[in-house]
Amino acid sequence: MLGNFVYYNPTKLYFGDDAQKHLAEALKDFGPKVLLTYGGGSIKENGIYDEMVKALKEAGKEVIELGGVMPNPTVKKLNEGREIARKNNVDLILAVGGGSTIDYSKGVAASAWYDGDAWDHFWMHFSDPTPDARIIPVGAVLTMAGTGSEMNGGSVITNEETKMKIGKVFDSRLMPKFAILNPKFTYSLPKRQLSAGIFDIMSHLMEQYFSGDDDSTSDYIAEGLMRSLIASSRVAVENPHDYEARSNIMWTATWALNTLVKMGKKQDWMVHMIGQAIGAHTNATHGMTLSAISGPYYRYIMEYGQHRFARFAKVVWEIPAEGKTEKELAIAGIEALEKWIRDIGATSEISSLGVTETMLEGIADATFLGGGYKKLSREDVIEVLRRSL
Ligand code: NZQ
Ligand code: ZN
């Protein structure tokens, strides 16, 4: 049965191979000073930067630049951005990039006008901005499909000193006011990032799907999204310029984590909790941390949610149930997932991300414990990590 919920998502989306044409229209609602945030420079190589600056200038905006947002953005970088945003009294932050740049921009937007220790307040204590807090609006131009950050309130920040990577989910005030989704903007992504993004999408869906055993519309939606993702991923890894596949992947990413498929149901999120702890210790690519532990994790918890895993095999992977026990069917589904991880070029071992046996305890200590079908203890986490090496 669906639980009770409030659903509200204020992000306006512009989707398509000319979506950036709507930028001028989207910018009208905001003041003249725009903080343009971006990552390590890919947008300068693929021409998106020039296009954005031109559009901003034509819209009469004053552009303040803040580049160099790294994958897995850090507290140090966050504090640099807070200072720049505040000093320049910006009216809008336009994030042009993947999840890291968009997450980062939300973090700056929430904390620029907060006087205390932002990391401690918003991330360590998961506090929300007060009702009267001054929050800078954020707009997004997406260049990598995966995180869903373009239509959610998530902001994941890494503290390199304490080796903690924490995802704060802000309320709707921090969701992007608008997002430009042009699938062609993702064409220049390196293959490894394409694979990581695809697996991240799948993981978001599985985290919300593998919990509960009731009849929920949210799970049927998740199954449809997973099926679409699997089909499109196979095309995109072979032919990265296939627009149909890339557009489906981008749209799936957005819906996989814009709060829709979690409505009224239980969720898991342990793969992300462990994956983030691995990220904090290795600075590894987010999607790869998830693909590396998913097989061993789902095998570890399968018996506690066997019925759902069997449904996953049947509906998502189209594995015939005939002649199989429920357990055999459930295992076949996980095997199909593991094969797909290899097929799309995502990693299956944390050792390939730089994790060694001696790091397992530290990673387990940095993991927020919880779970869906099974609540994991610290020892369980270490065991899952060991099986993922
Ligand atoms: O730095 P640039 O130059 O932008 O290059 C990036 C980066 O090196 C590159 N890239 C992005 N678009 C490109 C491109 N290269 C060529 N052409 C393009 N069109 O790809 C690399 C990875 O980018 P990044 O933004 O780090 O990737 P992703 O979108 O996967 O974001 C990862 C971050 O998001 C967090 C992760 O933990 C991680 O910190 N997450 C955010 C979530 C949310 N907001 O809800 C949920 C997720 O589970 C995730 O935790
Ligand atoms: Zn993720």
**Which are the contacts of 164, defined by CB distance < 8 A and separation ≥ 6?**
124, 158, 280, 366
Cα–Cα distance measured from residue 34 to residue 356, given in angstroms and rounded to the nearest whole number? 44
97 CA closest ligand 1 atom index:
4
CA 66 to ligand 2 center in whole angstroms = 24
DSSP state of 61: P
Give the 3-state secondary structure of residue 165: strand
Distance, C-alpha 334 to centroid of its chain: 22
pLDDT digits (tens, 9 = 90+) for 179-199: 999 999 999 999 999 999 999
> Angle at the Cα of 185 (from 339 to 189), degrees rounded to 5?
45
pLDDT digits (tens, 9 = 90+) for 1-20: 889 999 999 999 999 999 99
Burial class (CB in 10 A: 0-12, 13-18, 19+), 273: buried
- The crossing angle, in degrees rounded to 10, of helices 217-238 and 191-209 is 170
Average pLDDT, the chain: 97
Burial class (CB in 10 A: 0-12, 13-18, 19+), 357: exposed
Mark 300-330 as b/e (b = at least 16 C-beta within 10 Å): bbbeebbebbbbbbbbbbebeeeebeeeebb
43 CA closest ligand 1 atom index:
3
- β-bridge partners, 33: 62
**Which are the contacts of 201, defined by CB distance < 8 A and separation ≥ 6?**
145, 146, 148, 229, 249, 252, 253, 256, 257
Band (pLDDT 50/70/90 cuts) for residue 369 is very high
Neighbours of 356 (CB within 10 A): 10
CA 148 to ligand 2 center in whole angstroms = 8
Q: Is 42 in the pocket of ligand 1 (CB under 6 A)?
A: yes
> Angle at the Cα of 26 (from 33 to 82), degrees rounded to 5?
35
Q: Is 363 in the pocket of ligand 1 (CB under 6 A)?
A: no
pLDDT digits (tens, 9 = 90+) for 37-92: 999 999 999 999 999 999 999 999 999 999 999 999 999 999 999 999 999 999 99
pLDDT digits (tens, 9 = 90+) for 114-156: 999 999 999 999 999 999 999 999 999 999 999 999 999 999 9
Percentage of the chain beyond pLDDT 90 is 99
From 20, 42, 152, 157, mutation site for ligand 1 pocket: most ligand atoms within 8 A of C-beta:
42
Give the 3-state secondary structure of residue 342: helix
CA 204 to ligand 2 center in whole angstroms = 6
Q: Is 37 in the pocket of ligand 1 (CB under 6 A)?
A: no
Predicted confidence at residue 202, as pLDDT, reads 98
Cα–Cα distance measured from residue 87 to residue 323, given in angstroms and rounded to the nearest whole number? 68
> Looking at residues 173-178, what average pLDDT do you find?
98
Cβ atoms of 279 and 286 within 8 Å: the answer is yes
Q: Which ligand places an atom closest to the C-alpha of 258?
A: 1
Nearest CA to ligand 1 atom 25: 98
pLDDT digits (tens, 9 = 90+) for 90-125: 999 999 999 999 999 999 999 999 999 999 999 999
Dihedral in degrees, nearest 10, Cα atoms 88, 93, 94, 98: 120
CA 97 to ligand 1 center in whole angstroms = 7
Predicted confidence at residue 64, as pLDDT, reads 98
Cα–Cα distance measured from residue 15 to residue 377, given in angstroms and rounded to the nearest whole number? 42
CA 176 to ligand 1 center in whole angstroms = 16
CA 129 to ligand 2 center in whole angstroms = 24
Q: Is 147 in the pocket of ligand 1 (CB under 6 A)?
A: yes
Position 247, amino acid? S
Q: Is 188 in the pocket of ligand 1 (CB under 6 A)?
A: yes
Q: Is 139 in the pocket of ligand 1 (CB under 6 A)?
A: no
Neighbours of 351 (CB within 10 A): 12
Nearest CA to ligand 1 atom 49: 147
**Which are the contacts of 115, defined by CB distance < 8 A and separation ≥ 6?**
none
Give the 3-state secondary structure of residue 175: coil
| Distance in angstroms between the alpha carbons of the first and the last residue of the chain | 38
Ion ligand 2, residue ranges at CB < 5 A: 200
From 103, 255, 268, 368, mutation site for ligand 1 pocket: most ligand atoms within 8 A of C-beta:
103
Q: What is the pTM of this model?
A: 0.98
CA 247 to ligand 2 center in whole angstroms = 19
Q: Is 39 in the pocket of ligand 1 (CB under 6 A)?
A: yes
Predicted confidence at residue 1, as pLDDT, reads 83
Give the 3-state secondary structure of residue 357: helix
pLDDT digits (tens, 9 = 90+) for 271-324: 999 999 999 999 999 999 999 999 999 999 999 999 999 999 999 999 999 999
Q: Is 208 in the pocket of ligand 1 (CB under 6 A)?
A: no
Give the 3-state secondary structure of residue 298: helix
Cα–Cα distance measured from residue 5 to residue 266, given in angstroms and rounded to the nearest whole number? 12
CA 71 to ligand 1 center in whole angstroms = 6
